[in-house]
């Protein structure tokens, strides 16, 4: 290391920079509004992990995740739809659904409300900026800001839909997000039936485990990044959920790991993206796959907006694990051990989005 580089390293205090950023309650949108042309160093990611410089052979542009039309789900076409979703869940872990009965205006108003919230003045937004999970609702930049090795270029409004006081949610997003949640809950219950049919278990199995009761909503705002080649929008991760329903706008940026390659999830007007989470991979005893995905930093002068609703079981204390119906020793033994949802959530929050799956904590030796 040269003398000048050594001096630079010595005077750089990452923990102070991170704390100052968080204390400002500006988020990345506030940094951008301040007129910066370069991003703070704690947003820098190792060059080898950056999507923008991934070697071309690792990014596939001519294939797409499966798209499933749900318009005939209540007809004799249902078996075909079940087979499509089963195949996608086994091989991709991701698929898009169209004709899902969530009104287009509900989707659009939800996206616009997240955009409007983030584009309020810093004085207004800072009232909601906090990291206290027990409040039911938080607004912050990077939930794992203090334990991550590098931050991501996004701000997020989060709320537990089963435990957030409606009247305490900012009015600018209140009705839009709760309306979206109710429609998505109904869609989620339909998807649970289909996923159960694909697994060969009773169609109400996941519903009876209250897997639609504990829903967590995250509204992400990815503003333009002046150095998009040095950071990411969201780091590579798998979801700690049963499954996730994602609404994304027209900007794009979501990428899914398929084998050894990354595939762009191209926005499809009116579609919702569904992905299998870690908990369902465990419940299915590895039949369904929870796969790595990421979001590239936004390089266009227009914000990218997305809203994700994560479905989780409602009981924090009972034991979960591979469904007994799927275990037939010695031909098919359980791959994972039992766990409580409380333990699962605690371990995920402790590690943050570190690029490692939560599944490693639950393998049977």
Which residues are within 8 A (CB) of 217 and not within 5 positions of it... i.e. 6 or more apart? 158, 159, 160, 161, 177, 180, 181, 307, 308, 309, 310
Residue 56: the pLDDT is 52
| Residue among 32, 67, 325 nearest 205 (CA) | 325
Q: Which stretch of DSSP H or E encloses residue 340?
A: strand 339-340
Q: Does 165 fall in a domain? A: yes
Q: Is residue 3 part of a domain?
A: no
The pLDDT of residue 353: 80
Q: Where are the alpha helices (DSSP H) in the chain?
A: 3-11, 14-24, 27-33, 78-91, 104-118, 122-125, 174-199, 205-208, 278-283, 341-351
Q: Give the whole-angstrom CA distance, residue 104 versus residue 307.
A: 14
pLDDT attached to residue 4: 45
Is residue 55 included in any domain, yes or no? no
Instruction: Give residue-wise pLDDT tens across range 249-264.
Output: 999 999 999 998 999 9
> Given this model, what pLDDT does residue 134 score?
62
pLDDT at 133: 66
pLDDT of residue 286: 96
Looking at residue 54, its pLDDT comes to 53
pLDDT given at position 3:
46
- Residues 99, 101, 103, 109: what is their CA dihedral angle, to the nearest 10 degrees? -100
Q: How confident is the model at residue 162, as a pLDDT?
A: 86
Q: What is the pLDDT of residue 354?
A: 74
In this prediction, residue 7 carries a pLDDT of 41
Which residues are CB-neighbours of 105 under 8 A, at least 6 positions away?
Answer: none
Q: What is the pLDDT of residue 17?
A: 96
Specify if 57 maps to a domain: no
Examine residue 226 and state whether it is found in any structural domain, yes or no.
Answer: yes
pLDDT of residue 338: 95
Per-residue pLDDT tens digits for 301-329: 999 999 999 999 988 888 999 999 999 88
Q: Could you tell me the CATH number of the domain that includes residue 97?
A: 2.60.120.330
Q: Is 5 inside any structural domain?
A: no
Query: Range of 261's domain?
Result: 15-46+62-362
| Count of the separate structural domains present in the chain | 1
Q: What is residue 93's three-state secondary structure?
A: coil
State residue 273's pLDDT score: 98
The answer to whether residue 88 sits within a structural domain is: yes
pLDDT score, position 135: 66
pLDDT at 150 (0 to 100): 95
**Gap between the Cα atoms of 277 and 311, Å rounded:** 9
> Measured between alpha carbons, how far apart are the two ends of the chain, in Å?
44
For residue 123, tell me if it sits in a domain: yes
DSSP 59-85: EE-S----EEE-TTTTSTTHHHHHHHH
Average pLDDT of each block of 10 consecutive residues along the chain (365 residues)? 46 90 96 97 93 58 91 95 98 98 98 98 94 81 92 97 90 97 98 98 96 96 97 95 97 95 95 98 97 96 98 91 92 92 88 81 86
Q: Kind of pairing, strands 304-312 and 293-296? A: unpaired
Structure tokens at 180: 């979206």
């Amino acid at each position: 290391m040269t003398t000048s580089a050594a001096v630079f390293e010595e005077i750089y205090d990452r923990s102070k920079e991170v704390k100052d950023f968080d204390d400002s309650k500006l988020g990345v949108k506030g940094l951008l509004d301040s007129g910066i042309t370069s991003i703070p160093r704690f947003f820098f990611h190792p060059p080898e992990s950056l999507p923008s410089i991934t070697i071309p052979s690792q990014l596939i542009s001519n294939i797409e995740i499966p798209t499933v039309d749900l318009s005939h789900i209540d007809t004799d076409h249902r078996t075909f739809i079940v087979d499509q979703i089963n195949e996608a869940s086994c091989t991709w872990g991701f698929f898009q659904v169209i004709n899902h009965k969530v009104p287009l205006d509900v989707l659009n108003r939800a996206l616009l409300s997240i955009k409007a919230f983030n584009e309020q003045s810093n004085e207004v937004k800072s009232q909601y900026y906090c990291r206290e999970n027990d409040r039911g609702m938080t607004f912050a930049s990077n939930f794992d800001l203090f334990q991550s090795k590098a931050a991501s270029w996004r701000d997020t409004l989060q709320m537990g839909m089963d435990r957030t006081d409606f009247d305490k949610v900012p009015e600018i997003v209140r009705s839009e997000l709760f309306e979206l949640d109710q429609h998505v809950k109904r869609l989620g219950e339909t998807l649970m039936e289909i996923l159960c049919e694909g697994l060969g278990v009773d169609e109400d199995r996941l519903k009876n485990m209250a897997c639609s009761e504990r829903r967590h909503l995250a509204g992400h705002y990815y503003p333009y990044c002046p150095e998009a080649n040095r950071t990411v929008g969201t780091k590579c991760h798998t979801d700690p959920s049963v499954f996730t329903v994602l609404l994304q706008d027209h900007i794009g940026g979501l990428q899914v790991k398929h084998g050894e390659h990354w595939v762009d999830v191209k926005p499809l007007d009116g579609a919702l993206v569904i992905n299998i989470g870690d908990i369902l991979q465990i419940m299915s005893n590895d039949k369904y796959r929870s796969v790595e995905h990421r979001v590239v930093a936004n390089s266009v002068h227009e914000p990218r907006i997305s809203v994700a609703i994560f479905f989780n079981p409602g009981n924090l204390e009972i034991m979960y694990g591979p469904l007994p119906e799927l275990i037939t020793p010695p031909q098919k033994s359980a791959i994972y051990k039992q766990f409580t949802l409380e333990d699962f959530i605690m371990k995920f929050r402790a590690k943050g989005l570190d690029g490692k799956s939560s599944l490693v904590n639950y393998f049977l030796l």
